Chain A
């Protein structure tokens, strides 16, 4: 019956973290992480993501008190999970412990980074239009968030980039294009370079 729902809020007080732990399907999480490590299994990663994302977002939000930063912690943590899944060792501890440790490190890194180069980054890196509009520093959080994320992604091997980028953009990676056209990656790279060169020559009259 629907009436049960109305009682839920008052019951929440009884929900301690230990009672939640009982509900976690640890073997499923381990299995997913293994599939990510061994097969680069996107489906499994989605499973891991769906399980951890709301929790990480909530914890980060409560620690940092900033939605955008929390989202960045989430993205960085999950891209690390994707990248380092092979380092997870079931015998050394629970998957949850492993992921939350990554999250903790990501959070510290992020806070250090912000402290170290907040001013420099913003003044140098930000888009001129923003300056002309007299925007304040934090007004382009999305910008900066995306760029930082891109910075992280760019260090990943191309096939791994695709999965992470998929959360944001609908664009092929060079490697995907190579697979699609059944050509070596090197050929794709040089074709892109040559085609861009030709294009610029052609449009040169109209664009500096």
Chain B
């Protein structure tokens, strides 16, 4: 399988395909990483939680920088968008202590999800976007009519441990993810 070598940023952030988040960058090695990522192919966000049991082949989110700014506190702000999930095969560390990994694209449900369900999950998410200007500002485009997009955004937003969220990086987890959300959001 084709692999690419990309810098890795371990963060307590869970992102599925098309997910966007804002990061504050202050460490030198990550500033270097961002500079590199701007010119090249982005970087990998490696989500970590509390109960770390590292699998042989961790899953990361391949992100691209879609916006950047310098906050008035002098820190660099970047908005990153996840283009796909990746399997990380081999990790190394360079002299600046920045991690790099050989990664290959991981199949996920967002690539094959059925679309066209304007259901309550979508309505509820739409409302959350309306109420939260930060979210609206992050997402230039929203796809409330796409099941996989709606489910993915809800999973990112929910106040659930990242260890639990990571169950949903498995390709066969879409049904479980949707049911999980319905149990929380829709139950009367």
Q: Chain B residue with minimal CB distance to A78?
A: B73
With contacts A129-B58, A199-B167 taken as known, whether A180 is within 8 angstroms of B158 at the C-beta atoms is no
Are A170 and B167 in contact, CB atoms less than 8 angstroms apart?
no
Question: A170 — nearest CB in chain B belongs to which residue?
Answer: B21
CB under 8 Å from chain A, chain B span 36-92: 48, 52-54, 58, 71-75, 91-92
A71 to B74, CA, bound (A): 11
Number of contact residues on A: which range applies? Answer: 35 or more
Which one, B12, B179, B183, contacts A169 given CB within 8 A? Answer: B12
The size class of the interface chain B forms with chain A is 35 or more
**1/0 per residue B124-162: CB within 8 Å of A?**
100110010011001000000000000000001111100
- List residues of chain B with CB within 8 A of the CB of A196: 160, 164, 180
**Chain A residue contacts of B13, Cβ below 8 A:** 169
Which of chain B's residues have a CB closer than 8 A to the CB of A50?
72-73
A17 to B37, CA, bound (A): 39
Docked-complex contact A203 and B97, CB < 8 angstroms: no
The interface of chain A, by Cβ under 8 A from chain B, is: 49-50, 53-54, 57-58, 67-68, 71, 74, 127-129, 132-136, 138-143, 146, 150, 166-174, 176-177, 180-181, 188, 191-192, 194-196, 198-199, 202-203, 206-207
Residues of B within 8 A of A (CB): 10-13, 20-22, 24, 26-28, 30, 48, 52-54, 58, 71-75, 91-93, 97, 99, 124, 127-128, 131, 134-135, 138, 156-160, 164, 167, 170, 173, 176, 179-180, 183-185, 187
